[in-house]
Chains A and B, each alone.
Chain A
Amino acid sequence: MLHPLSTPKSLADRPEHSPSSPLSVHDMTVAYQRRPVLWDVDYDAPSQSLIAIVGPNGAGKSTLIKACLDLLPRASGRVEFFGKSYRESRHMIGYVPQRESVDWDFPVSALDVAAMGRYAKIGWFGRVSRRHKDAARECLARVGMADLAHRQISQLSGGQQQRVFLARALAQDATLYFMDEPLAGVDAATEATIIDVLRSLRSAGKTVIVVHHDLPTVPQYFDHVLLLNTRVIAAGPVSGPESVFTSENLRRTYGGRLTLLDQAAEAVARARGG
């Protein structure tokens, strides 16, 4: 039993977290304007799997990813990757933000964007050498965008833009990937390409955590699911005897009824002047 005031060296020392997990989230709370968006999230991601984060709008799916990557401040909680902090494991983590989060009129080519995935390897002040350009080009080829490498990004379709983002993540050559709605609003061909790439990543021993909107395709595309609505409703395999992808869990995730805890949260926010 740990002393209440002692901080364990690593989450992996705690019995509820596994040291081999690519992502361990412990008791994470994130708040905007004092209103909790994520509350007491505990999660261990299984390695070598495709994981869907599923939940209604405003459930905190993107927030979970951003808070894990230190892009948003956490009110409390710890996040570890393979038992280490984000700062130490940054080079092992790839990130695909939502497509709408950037200005696609920006004067760069598809190849320029893909090459951005190599920047962490290049480091501060370094040049993008031919070797890195070739690596970026190879990643574009893996998503079927080799011919459009020199196209300015505003001249690409939505699906092609999403592929460029995926190529950029591939160029990061990570072990764990976070992707924020890579399948939102893409054409069928792009969806098939992206799923192929995700599967090849899994067979190469990597883990991919994807914010996903389309419930019917969850069992078809993913191994594990994290049902999220401010709190973790359930997390586990999508099929088999231990499946958590059940109608009961989905109802709890998407159910509009205010729980007692939600009412309490409202009251707290009001009392603090939020």
Chain B
Amino acid sequence: MIPTLREFLAIDLAAIITACLCALACAIVGNFLVLRRQSLLGDSIAHSVLPGLAAAFLIVGSRGSVPMFVGALIAGVLSAILSEGLRRFARVEAGAAMGVIFSAMFALGVLLMSLPRMRSVDLDADCVLNGVLETVIWTADASRGTRVPAVWSDLLDPGVLAGAPSQLLTALVVCGVVIMVVLAVFKELTLASFDSALAGALGFRPWLLHTVLVVLAAAASVASFEVVGSILVIAMLICPAATARMCTSRLRTQIALSGVFAILSVLIGYLLAGFGPMLLGYHSLALSASGMIAVAAGALLTGAIIFSPSHGLLARRIRTLRLSVAIAREDLLAMLYRVEESGDARSLTLHHARLALGGGLTTKLAIRGAIRRDQATTTPGGLALTDSGRAAARALVRTHRLWETYLVKELGLRPDHVHRSAMELEHHTTSAMADTLASIVPSTTADPHGRPIPGDRPRGNPPE
């Protein structure tokens, strides 16, 4: 069932905006966590939210959003400080220290929640863990004069804005602060993340920048825990940044992309959770939106690992295949040249060429490529070089034999040991390198096996 505009504005809009703001804040901070290889720090901070909330409630005695936020923030920063202390004084690795601290903090939270005074509160561990995005809705309160938006233009109405859910306001403030702080100390954060020793030597106080980052991560986690829950917030911190990292090698671009991926995850996740089951025919089923957002973030990362044009697995496979096809094509040309050179009247049959090149897809593409580039043609007997193919083949064979000569004369290798090395080297030799080679092994016209080294320009008639 498609919601009406009224339903969308009252129920979905606040949740979507809040989730987008939280995801954006988490993603921006996440970039620096990922680059510093401190991704687990986010997890540690997120798990410490629970005892922070409980302690804040016990101290203040109400479930106001400001004390809750401050309590959780302090707990998050405390967990980072404790982890660092444990790492330094217990002499364990950073991951182990964080693991110990965040489970201890979380256990403390569970204990506090089980106190009799906490029983009456609608603050249950489940909601902290998994998030309840569904509760982020516009509320109408006649006594305060707030109402729910019914049409788009209502969003400019002060009465409507005053009724915006508190989570949305928190997310807006946190996201704004994160963006402003990162913009202000972008240069310093980058330096301290890349080379903290130099940052220290230049007087940029790496520990201070680290603390700033921890506070930002804690603020983003606390703002997000109601949206995606403290366990899933780690996905929001890490996935968009890791996805962006797969797509670029520029930090600014990476941060911008991570924001795009964060918002995409929210939109995809929210839509799938709301309408996914319906599309599959399960009309009464609704999925957890927060869970689906984290799944979408994970799916985007998986997609980037496979399909990223610069760093993806597929792109790398294609580059490798292209290279091996190019090498096989060059090998084919050189082979045809050697057949011509040997004076054998028979031409190389397709069958023999395939056998010699190892067969398979690479060989097929190499032969097709040579014909398409007009370097070889099919003759009744098999394959033959064209003029342009012969020129390319001559250059290759020349490079091959120059390398063989070089390896024997300059490096003192035995003549029967050099063919394979030369086969490798010939494909990666530029014409400038070939000229240098020729100048190192001058006055040589024959390779170590006694075969002539072709000149760098065609001389007379091609060998028949």
Residue of B nearest to A87 (CB): B203
* A120 close to B254 (CB less than 8 A): no
With A and B bound together, what is the CA distance between A245 and B197 in angstroms? 31
* A124 close to B204 (CB less than 8 A): yes
* B201 close to A108 (CB less than 8 A): no
Name A58-94 residues within 8 Å CB distance of B: 66, 69-71, 87, 90, 93
Residue of B nearest to A97 (CB): B197
User: Using Cβ atoms and an 8 Å threshold, which residues of chain A touch B194?
Assistant: 102-103, 106, 108, 113, 116
* B200 close to A116 (CB less than 8 A): no
Residue B198 interfacial (CB < 8 Å): yes
Known: A69-B201, A95-B201. A108 touches B251 (CB 8 A): yes
With A and B bound together, what is the CA distance between A247 and B35 in angstroms? 47
With A and B bound together, what is the CA distance between A142 and B229 in angstroms? 53
Q: Tell me how far the C-beta of A61 lies from the nearest C-beta in chain B, rounded to whole angstroms.
A: 15
With A and B bound together, what is the CA distance between A125 and B184 in angstroms? 6
With A and B bound together, what is the CA distance between A71 and B193 in angstroms? 16
* B201 close to A107 (CB less than 8 A): no
User: Using Cβ atoms and an 8 Å threshold, which residues of chain B touch A87?
Assistant: 203
Known: A90-B203, A128-B187, A152-B249. A107 touches B254 (CB 8 A): yes
User: Using Cβ atoms and an 8 Å threshold, which residues of chain A touch B251?
Assistant: 106-108, 112
User: Using Cβ atoms and an 8 Å threshold, which residues of chain A touch B35?
Assistant: 103, 106-107
Name B156-192 residues within 8 Å CB distance of A: 184-185, 187-188, 190-191
With A and B bound together, what is the CA distance between A122 and B187 in angstroms? 10
Measured as residues with beta carbon below 8 angstroms from the partner, the interface class of chain B is 20 to 34
Contact with A along B193-215 (1 / 0, CB 8 A): 11101101111100000000000
Known: A119-B204, A120-B203. A106 touches B197 (CB 8 A): no
Known: A107-B245, A108-B251, A124-B188. A119 touches B202 (CB 8 A): yes
* A119 close to B191 (CB less than 8 A): yes
User: Using Cβ atoms and an 8 Å threshold, which residues of chain B touch A97?
Assistant: 195, 197-198
* B202 close to A120 (CB less than 8 A): yes
With A and B bound together, what is the CA distance between A168 and B201 in angstroms? 13
User: Using Cβ atoms and an 8 Å threshold, which residues of chain B touch A107?
Assistant: 35, 245, 248-251, 254
Contact with B along A106-142 (1 / 0, CB 8 A): 1111001100100110101111100000000000000
Known: A106-B35, A119-B191. A69 touches B254 (CB 8 A): no
Residue of B nearest to A154 (CB): B249
Residue A101 interfacial (CB < 8 Å): yes
Residue of A nearest to B195 (CB): A102
Interface residue from B193, B197, B248 paired with A66 (Cβ < 8 Å): B197
Counting chain B CB atoms within 10 Å of each CB, the highest count among A66, A93, A113, A124 belongs to: A124
* B195 close to A101 (CB less than 8 A): yes
Q: Tell me how far the C-beta of B199 lies from the nearest C-beta in chain A, rounded to whole angstroms.
A: 8
Known: A107-B251, A128-B187. A90 touches B202 (CB 8 A): yes
User: Using Cβ atoms and an 8 Å threshold, which residues of chain A touch B201?
Assistant: 69-71, 90, 93, 95
User: Using Cβ atoms and an 8 Å threshold, which residues of chain A touch B200?
Assistant: 69-71
* A116 close to B198 (CB less than 8 A): yes
Task: List the interface of chain A (C-beta within 8 A of B).
Answer: 66, 69-71, 87, 90, 93, 95, 97, 101-103, 106-109, 112-113, 116, 119-120, 122, 124-128, 152, 154, 168, 172
11 A-B pairs whose Cβ atoms sit less than 8 Å apart in the complex? A69-B201, A70-B200, A70-B201, A95-B197, A95-B198, A97-B198, A103-B35, A106-B251, A107-B248, A116-B194, A152-B249
- Further pairs besides A95-B201, A108-B250, A119-B188: 6, Cβ < 8 Å: A97-B195, A102-B194, A119-B204, A124-B188, A126-B187, A127-B187
Task: List the interface of chain B (C-beta within 8 A of A).
Answer: 35, 37, 184-185, 187-188, 190-191, 193-195, 197-198, 200-204, 245, 248-251, 254
